Each structure stands twice: as structure tokens, then as C-alpha cells.
Structure 1
């Protein structure tokens, strides 16, 4: 094959053959019609490096030609208008390709393989029928959603590949893939890496990137809530598996609490696109502390070698940001806002178990999905006659079970589709206060 157009034509030809058997004249006319539709949607300006994000399973779906990132999307999938872009948590994603499903027995279904990508992606869906309920399977997860066509999505992190499917009871389903664009959200950025201005209700107070200069950052800010947190990213450091390279360490005065020297630091990777929610390169967690609104807060972070020399390498980059955290509900400690699966969620209700040993919640049978946090608050570990008296709790979200010890606090999070249930139960050991926090989409 010579380029993307040949790949598209080959995939379309196989799909057409699957739709029309050797003696199926009606099927052949239908296949010709589908091929004509796909041809009308084919764009002339597609970049040569763009490859279809979805590959149809033979005989299952009709391939719809993808567009290059930044170009206009197709007119429709299964007769439904498809947006050219989606915005998730401030980041812009561009349409990259789509598939239309077919009726099989008493259901409409589309099956495909998601190819790997170096960028984050969103998968969105729609249906030709009046019933918006769709069951999507991707990355080992089964998600049930009931939202208008192509208004909801699930986040697929970079590097993810594998089977993906959508099933509907009425009509035909369609899947659309969106790839992360180059646009940067509000905040402080360096070459595509951003400390976002707002993250789940946490407000950016101050941030700075050092690009090749001495790796030292001092941030001064005024607290606006009852807690602040610091995030750090870095790149251009030595490979930690290289025995000939001197390991980097972080020396810091985290929020005025006294300098913490010689904390191992891994800066061997590249700067993440979302600098705020990326895993910390520190061995220890990001620094945080309680504050009073109006407090002056100052932090200093410097990266050195073990011998104490501040890193001053043209290829080294350091980013540090300070956030004012949104105040939690004082009664139960539930966060008022969350970010998960490419969405912003706000606290809608809490279900308090009181003194009972089990608490349950059932999502509404109609409407969008709910995101839940199950929280068990118990006592610290107590040993009596050599036995651990800490409460053992079972977090159940949908079909997923998670066994945890309550300790001072135990949490589990997950997505509930319409009509699905979550529960939290003390199974063994001591007592624990139980609560389920329920969140609704707010984007």
C-alpha cells in the first residue's frame, strides 16, 4: 500500500465484501451506497502520517475515512452529526476517525481494535436509534451510558491499544476517536506542558518553569483556602538505570516546614502534557499543608546532584506549581469536585451509613452516569492478643469488588452506569463510619 488513501480503500473494500455476499444483489447495492458515502467524506488534505485510529473487525463495521488532526470532521456517523472537536478538562481533542456498526440479531454492535498512539485520546459514541443507552467496552472496562449522541466520552491514555466495542438495543451504534491537539489550556505552560489554572476546584496560586537554567524555583503566594499543595515535574535528567550517571536529588523547603534534603528524584522522562495530574517524579508524595486564608506561603525547590551541585544543564527542565485546594465537606471529608475519565464531577449527594455496618446506593435508571467515592473512616490499627483489630471493609462499585482495611481512612472510586449499584460494608474486625459520595458530570 502506498500511503493512507490506499489503506482506507483496502479497509473499505473488505468491509463492503463482508456486507454483500456473492449472490446478494441488495447487499451489493447497499455496499456501493456505503462506499459512496465514505468517498464523499474523504478529505484531500490528510497528513501522510495520520493512520486510522480504529480498525474494523471483518464483517462487523463500515470504515469511515478519518481526517487529519485539525481538519473538519465528517458530516455524520449513523446519520448523527459528529463534532469536529471535544474539550475535556481544558484540553482540545480533534476528530481522528470513526466506525459505524450494524444490526446483529437483536442488538446493534460495532467491534474494532484501537491502535496505539503517543497521545491521549477520547472515545465518544452515538446511535441511530431514539434510545441513547450504549454499552461501551474499552481498555478492559465496561461502561454503560445514557447521554445524547457524541456528548460523552471516555479517556484513553497514550499507549493504550486493544479491542473496543459499543452495543445498543435499538438502531446502530458508532464510535468516534479524538486525538489530543496542540492547544494549551489556561494556566502556566512550557512547550506543551501545562499547570492548569483550575484542577477539580483547586486554584493555581503560582507556577514557574525553569528551562535549562539553574534548577531552582521559589514561589510566593497568598493562601485563599484552608490547604495548599505543591506539584513538581522535571525532564532531561539521567536515566536512573545508568550506573555511570550521578543520581539527582531534590532539596526543598516545602511550604515553610523546614528543608528536606536528599530526596531521590527521577527526571529521566519528558515533561507531561498535564503537569498537574501527572504522577510525581518524587519518591515521596507532593507536599501539602493546612493554611488559613490570607497566609503568606513561600516554597523553594532546587535539584542537585548527590554532591550538592545545583543542576545547570541546557537540556534540563523543572516545573513547580502551588495550588489552593478546595475545602472539603467538614462532616465527611468528601471532595466537592473531582476529575476522572476526562470529566469534571461535582458532589451531588452523600449517603451516610450512620452506625450501620453497610451502606448502599443505586444510580438512577435514566440519565447520565454517576461517579462515586466509597469512604470508610475507622480507627488506626489496634493489636489485641496478637491480632489485628482494624476493620476490614468491602468496597463494591458496579461489578468490581475491592477489599481494604479501613485504617484512619479508606477510599475507592469508580463509575456507575444507569441503574447500577455501589455499596460499602464492614466485613470483619473493628468498626468504621461508612459513607458514599455521589458525583454528577459538570462539563
Structure 2
């Protein structure tokens, strides 16, 4: 993933405060998951989701943030702003287009008209309880879910991923954060996003310009699924920091400092199209995105234990009752493989002429350590930075698409321009369902 833009949501005041408001009660949409020990032996865990939302002055309905500017009265500095601004419960369906069409299913609409104008995109986090995120140790486990991307066109990203967020959303570490996981606070990812409005219990007010602040919020990230109907990739992103961390300056890895920050923004991606098989994924392809499908990701350890070193990350698909192994690489100087491993990453980076910052920050070994305490995130978004070209088109766009690693999908480079995709596909959506975590080969039918 090259950039995740929180400001892709155009709802004017979509920003997290750190106090708790009193206008609307919070009611989390239910999203139960299953925990499996063997095939046919699964139990249901009652989980739910929380998202980001509106913030306002604690003494009324005045917005703390509008358009791209902070309210100077409520927010003269970060600490004061956190004390002055509150968040209330959310109307998930009406305001954000987040619904649960059936038990264990979550639908995220792309554009939702509401009383405040419209909301574009959404992001939710899985909760174990009313006040704590559900933590996952993925080592020696597999993670499985069903997804329908048939209504998700070029330029959009329906993402399922894990981030090394605090279990309580940051309440215990940061005194300025009173809202915690219940209200969807404490976000971080490997892009160290600087558009997040509140970080470490303080507003990101300082040097705020063009929707970006002085600080970013960093943590390791495992992208299980970044996809639309034309392209998909799964990508580990290790970091040198081992928990949600506020960055500034070079540590954020912005611009020319991309390969000097605390996180690996590029990661080590496996995109079947980019890896040489252009007929594997898409409408009518081997994995047919015109129909729902099951995605299985396995985290293999060297010694077969839940604490062992991460050896590889494997992918399977299940569709129409058939188990489909991930496609194999068809790239010169990359050994044929259909999984992510240290050797694959080394060869891929060399073949594509990419900076192997993945290795610099510890590679698979570091990623494995960070997979022990992850929070599940589900989202749909469009890309204001590079139009999702890194996922489904040619990237860089001015490079020769015949050069290894440049072509990543069949999409037109302009298809993901936010103004275009929001106008032409406001009714786009993604549905995630049947989420399972369990022992290897326990969550999907045998081949």
C-alpha cells in the first residue's frame, strides 16, 4: 500500500475527538467471527465493530474541524483541543453507509448521502468488548473471510488488514484520550499517516496544512486483502517500532525520507498480475470476481508453533466449492512460488529494482514478532495521492509497463481519480462475511 488517505471521507467533520459526548449513545454493529480448532469444529465469538466519526465542542454542536481547518477557538494547540472536543455515538447506517445485511456480514458503501452532505469511504475496527479491540496472534494460524468485490470498480480499495494498535485504543497510555476503542480511536498503520487528527491523546494541530499535520501515527501492518474487482495484493509491512508510535520529521518517512522512516511503506507485496499471471484474478478469470469468493491466508512458522519465527505467508481462494492455490510467479530471476517468504522478497525487490526496506527493517522475522498482537481493520476507500495506480494500473505511471513490476492491473490510470470514481460509482460497495481465525487448515474445506 502506498498511501491510505483518511481525508478521502468528505463528511465535513469526520474526525476523532478525545472526550466523550452526551448527545447520541454508541451502539456498535454486530460482526461475530468464528474461532476454529479443526475442520468442522468452530465456535462463535460475539464481536462488533467501531468506526471513526464526528467531533464537536464539548459545550455544544460547534465543529472542532471543518473542511480542512481546525476551529481556532476550540483548538489553539493539541492538548487544549483534546480537552475541548468530544465524539458521540454514530448512526452507522444513515451517516456512514455501514450495515450488517446478515449475521456475520458487513457491508461498506462507498458514497452515502446524509444530512450533512455525503460520506465517502469508511473504516472500522473489530471489538472484543464494548471498550477493547479484539487482539489476534496470527502466527501458526490462518485467517479466512468471504468477500464480494463485484461492485467495486477500478480505483477503489476494499481492504482487510491488521494493525498493531493498542487494545484499548490508547486510553491507558495517553491521559488526553478518554474515548478509547469504544469510539474507534488509536489508529495507526505502516504509512504513518499524518492526516489523522488526534494522535497520542492530542490533536494534530501543529503545522496543519492541506489536511496534513506535523505528526504521523505509525505501527506494523499486515495487509491481508487490498482489492477491487480487477486487482488484489497481500503485503506485510514491518516497522522498527513495536506499538502505536507518534512520529515526526524523518521518522514518518514522508517524501524523500520514504526509506528512512520507522515503517516499511512499500512492504513485500504479492499481486498476481504484477508477478506475471495476468489471467488469474478478475471478472471471468481463475478467481472470478463477478462472484463472491473465500480468501484464506496462512502464517507458517519455522517450528510449527504459535511463537516460532515467521517462515512464509500462504494464500488460497475457495470458489464454487473448489480450493484454488495462489498463482505462481512468472518473473525472470524470481523462483516460481505462490507464497511470501524472505527469499521471495529478496528476489522480487532485485528483479523490480525496488529498495528492499522490508529487509532493512527486519523482514519476515520482525513481521512475525508484530503479528502476535494485531487489531483487525476493514475498510473501503479511494486514493487522493496516486489514484490506486499502485494496486490496479501501471505504477509509476510514467514507467514502461513492459518493465518488470510496473504493470499491476488492467485499470486506466485515470480511473481512480477521486472526483471521477466518486461521481461515476457512488453506488459501489464491498461485503465482508464469515470471518474465521483458527489452526492451519481448519477454516476452509479440504481440496
Same fold per superposition (TM over 0.5): no
Q: Which structure shows the higher strand fraction?
A: 1
Which structure would you say has the larger Rg? 1
Report 1 or 2 for greater relative contact order, CA contacts < 8 Å, sequence distance ≥ 6.
2
TM-score normalised by structure 2 residue count: 0.24
